[in-house]
């Protein structure tokens, strides 16, 4: 068990909507305010997606990312900013010809998916080491796309958070590390309970943790009702944790969470009850090797 545990808060994601929980932040101002509240509750990292303020639908617009990041930085926050690069990897085969993109396809180049990273230069950006079925679409991240994204992230000074959804993804991540595309120490996020990925169970987490390369730092999360059980499991195995509206909308069964801060606060209580303590943003920087 770590003496200090990093809490990452995934603020909004792309799937949860205010229709499911009115507290889900949408506008850049709402997302930034939610980040600052999460920091006060104990989060050291905020994982950021953005949405169109008018429609609440997921967005890739630079101006929305800039609106969030600028507000956090202007508040003199010590938070570690982690911007997603996941959007732009969705493919839906056409009904008549599977080579024709169907409705819902959103495939973009590495340059487009990393545009906001190169412009805003966060300390961390996600790198989804995954091509997999995801609900009724395919989440596509071919190895050469990942290589270019890793190159661009390094040039921008952003440490990749290696998001892995199943055990085979860890093997691909190891290959990228072997090719010196990922600077040491690597930072993994074990994503459990996502549709058609590894289930959110103790067995899955232990199996995937056992595959990680020596010296890796890792965090984990579970989706939905498994969010807090996976917090406890990660702490017991010596990992760090992620909570937030991207992964779960409920504080407990039948009770919608009033804020991301409430989810962070509950995770902090679990961590302390198990004998660890909460890492500050600066302590998290040391644990993740940021700036080295």
Residues 200-214 have pLDDT tens digits of 999 999 999 999 999
Residue 292, pLDDT above cutoff 60:
no
- What percent of the chain clears pLDDT 70, i.e. is strictly above it? 100
pLDDT of amino acid 15: 86
pLDDT of amino acid 291: 73
How does residue 161 score in pLDDT terms, banded at 50, 70 and 90?
A: very high
pLDDT of amino acid 114: 98
Q: Could you give the CA distance from residue 278 to residue 43 in angstroms, rounded to a whole number?
A: 8
Exposure string over 223-248, b if 16+ CB within 10 A, otherwise e: beebbbebbbbbbebebbbbbbbbbb
Lookup: tokens for 21 = 């929980």
pLDDT of amino acid 155: 97
What is the arithmetic mean of pLDDT over 227-243? 98
pLDDT tens digit string along 63-111?
Answer: 999 999 999 999 999 999 999 999 999 999 999 999 999 999 999 999 9
Whole-angstrom Cα Rg for the chain: 18
- Mention every residue, 6+ apart, whose C-beta is less than 8 A from residue 70: none
Residue 168, pLDDT above cutoff 70:
yes
The CATH number of residue 282's host domain is 3.20.20.70
Residue 121, pLDDT above cutoff 80:
yes
* Contact assessment for residue 33 and residue 259, using Cβ atoms and an 8 Å cutoff: no
Number of domains in the chain: 1
What is the arithmetic mean of pLDDT over 52-56? 94
Residue 281: which domain range? 4-288
What is the arithmetic mean of pLDDT over 256-261? 98
Residue 277, pLDDT above cutoff 60:
yes
Q: Could you give the CA distance from residue 79 to residue 35 in angstroms, rounded to a whole number?
A: 8
pLDDT tens digit string along 9-40?
Answer: 999 998 888 999 999 999 999 999 999 999 99
Q: What angle do CA 176, 89, 67 make, to 5 degrees?
A: 100
pLDDT of amino acid 14: 87
- Across the chain, mean pLDDT equals 96
Q: Could you give the CA distance from residue 93 to residue 152 in angstroms, rounded to a whole number?
A: 29
Cis peptide before 185 (omega within 30 of 0): yes
Question: At 140, which helix (H) or strand (E)?
Answer: none
Exposure string over 260-283, b if 16+ CB within 10 A, otherwise e: bbbbbbbbbebbeeeebebbebeb
Q: Could you give the CA distance from residue 141 to residue 242 in angstroms, rounded to a whole number?
A: 23
What is the arithmetic mean of pLDDT over 180-208? 97
pLDDT of amino acid 202: 97
pLDDT of amino acid 286: 97
């Amino acid at each position: 068990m770590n003496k200090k545990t990093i809490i990452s808060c995934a603020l909004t994601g792309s799937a949860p909507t205010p229709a499911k929980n009115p507290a889900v932040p949408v506008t850049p101002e709402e997302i930034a305010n939610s980040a600052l509240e999460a920091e006060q509750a104990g989060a050291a990292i905020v994982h950021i997606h953005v949405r169109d303020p008018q429609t609440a639908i997921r967005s890739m617009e630079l101006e929305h990312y800039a609106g969030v990041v600028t507000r956090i930085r202007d508040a003199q926050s010590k938070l570690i900013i982690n911007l997603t690069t996941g959007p732009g990897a969705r493919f839906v085969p056409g009904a008549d010809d599977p080579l024709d993109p169907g409705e819902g396809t959103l495939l973009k180049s590495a340059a487009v998916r990393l545009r906001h990273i190169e412009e805003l230069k966060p300390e961390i950006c996600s790198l989804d080491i995954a091509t997999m079925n995801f609900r009724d679409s395919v989440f596509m991240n071919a190895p050469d796309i990942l290589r270019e994204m890793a190159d661009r992230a390094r040039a921008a000074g952003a440490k990749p958070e290696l998001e892995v959804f199943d055990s085979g993804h860890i093997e691909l991540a190891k290959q990228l590390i072997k090719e010196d595309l990922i600077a040491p120490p690597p930072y993994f996020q074990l994503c459990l309970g996502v549709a058609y990925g590894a289930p959110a169970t103790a067995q899955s987490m232990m199996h995937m943790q056992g595959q990680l390369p020596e010296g890796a730092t890792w965090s984990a999360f579970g989706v939905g009702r498994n969010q807090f059980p996976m917090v406890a499991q990660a702490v017991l195995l010596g990992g760090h944790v992620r909570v937030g509206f991207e992964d779960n909308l409920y504080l407990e069964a039948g009770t919608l969470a009033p804020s991301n801060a409430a989810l962070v606060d509950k995770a902090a209580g679990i961590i302390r009850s198990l004998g660890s303590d909460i890492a500050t943003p600066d302590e998290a920087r040391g644990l993740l090797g940021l700036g080295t």
